[in-house]
Amino acid sequence: MKKIYTCFTCGFPFAVDEKDVPAECPACGSPKSQYLEEPWNGSIEARRIHVDFPVPDPDWDPMDIRFHHPKHFKPQSMQGRIRRFVLPYDDAEKTRKFYAEAMDWDIINVENTDPANPLMYCATGPGNANWEPSVPSFGYGFLKSKASGHAVQQASFVVEIDNMEETLENVVKYGGEVLSEKYEAAGNTYVMIKDSEGNILYLWETPADMDWSLPEALYLSKRPEKIEPYVSTALADPNRYPGRAPKKYPKKDLHGRLRFITYSYLDYERWHKFVVNVFGWDMFELPEAAGGQPKGSASPTLLIATGPSYETYEGATPGHMNAMCHKADGELEPIVCMLEIDMWKPLEDTLKMMESKGAVLVDGIPEETEGWTSSAYVNDPSGNRLYLWKCPTSRTWEEPEAAYDQE
């Protein structure tokens, strides 16, 4: 018999047949003795049991990876937020066509870019006129030519930081390496680094004239009261490039949104010290039921808040992506972008559509399941690995990350 279970520790509700109840909460890893149960009544949103969510503990040890509410991130600071993905490409038009048609992205060339090897900027979901996301917990990013300056040959991501000089000192102090001088791109200042494990990343220094009233600059650490897109104070200016806002995403679905960055470490203790001290990230050990390692493993899989987030480690404010990191299986693994795909269509149909647009299936078409694990890996036309995740149609629409454009 199907029932609704709500975890008393973290407040996470889920619905499964009672014979398939996980031994640990899929969200926080608490034992099933912490579950409160009620009959299935047609939808999770109609449940009667609601649990108060945990709140941030100002005295929490940042090195403690037991489940906890993400910390309060500092106001008027963008330090550590993963703000952009970077996907390198071989062929500009083939790549643009793939992501526009297969993932429904809105893609523009960055102003004054090299027309032969353009730097392309991508809206992957609802956004404001300043081309920043208007909904939490997904990100915009770049398609960058492998032949361009300051290029990567594998996927990467951009971390925004407050002060470049101070951050670079900490990069070296905690085992990383500075790979480039400061350089300008699309009106912003960047530096390329290697983290303590060898992952190549970009640092972006917050502009001195940052408008702290913008949605992407907020510092909430709880669920927003309104579950709808944020409206930016940066109004559309027809004289400002590109002269329009991103297209609307009115479908009640999250297909194409780039939701998380997933990557790997070689030495857990070294990596953990690096990201806590350089970026200020907060994290907890992902439960085995949610794809993590057995509790207490020396090589845990971490779910990471890189900026303001609420108790499920989904972003509470728009403009940044959270991340997952796991122990590499041997050599350091390429960074992988996790995208949500159509929840209303069979997984097989979506994968076949993507294959027809140029994707390469990594392990064929997997069997679709009833739970939260319907997923697949594909490579894009340039060989970038994408992790595609299909949310079940039983998802609730109470969470901020589920907002969409309602016209």
Task: Please give the C-alpha separations between residue 9 and each of 30, 43, 305, 311, in angstroms, as whole numbers.
Answer: 7, 22, 19, 10
Q: What angle do CA 326, 324, 388 make, to 5 degrees?
A: 105
Closest CA to 250 of 395, 120, 75, 125: 125
Of the CA atoms within 13 Å of residue 305, those in its CB half-sphere come to 30
Per-residue model confidence as pLDDT tens digits over 121-179:
999 999 999 999 999 999 999 999 999 999 999 999 999 999 999 999 999 999 999 99
CA angle 118, 124, 125 (to 5 degrees): 145
Fold of 2-46: Rubrerythrin, domain 2 (2.20.28)
The full length of the chain comes to 407
Please report, as a single letter, which amino acid is at residue 247.
K
pLDDT over 80 at 372, yes or no = no
β partners of residue 341 = 390
203 vs 193: CA distance, rounded Å? 7
- What does the angle CA 177 – CA 259 – CA 76 come to, to the nearest 5 degrees? 65
Instruction: List CB contacts of 67: < 8 A, sequence separation 6 or more.
Output: 9, 10, 28, 29, 30, 284, 285
- The per-residue pLDDT for 370 is 67
- pLDDT for res 231: 80
Q: Whose structure tokens read 């559309």?
A: 236
Q: Which two tokens stand for residue 393?
A: 């149609």
- Distance of alpha carbon 319 from alpha carbon 137, whole angstroms: 7
Q: Distance between CA 376 and CA 94 in Å, rounded?
A: 22
Phi, psi for 34 (deg, rounded to 5): -90, 0
Q: Are 237 and 131 in contact (CB under 8 A)?
A: no
One fold for both 2-46 and 57-407?
Answer: no
Q: What is the spatial distance between Cα 63 and Cα 273, in angstroms, rounded to a whole number?
A: 8
For Cα atoms 312, 284, 56, give the angle at the middle one, nearest 5 degrees. 60
Question: How do residues 244-291 score in pLDDT, each as one tens digit?
Answer: 999 999 999 999 999 999 999 999 999 999 999 999 999 999 988 788
Q: Domain coordinates of the chain in residue numbers?
A: 2-46, 57-407
Torsion of CA 390, 260, 117, 154, to 10 degrees: -100
- The predicted-structure confidence for 74-93, as pLDDT tens digits, reads as follows 999 999 999 999 999 999 99
pLDDT tier for residue 292 given thresholds of 50, 70 and 90: confident
Q: What does the pLDDT read at residue 368?
A: 83
Over residues 198-254, the pLDDT tens digits come to 999 999 999 999 999 999 999 876 777 767 788 887 766 777 889 999 999 999 999
CB-count burial class (<10 Å; 0-12, 13-18, 19+) for 273 = middle
- Give me the amino acid identity at 87: L
- Give bridge partners of residue 386 from the DSSP assignment: 337, 378
Q: Which of 82, 141, 138 is nearest to 110 (CA)?
A: 141
CATH number for the domain running over 57-407: 3.10.180.10
Predicted pLDDT of residue 42: 86
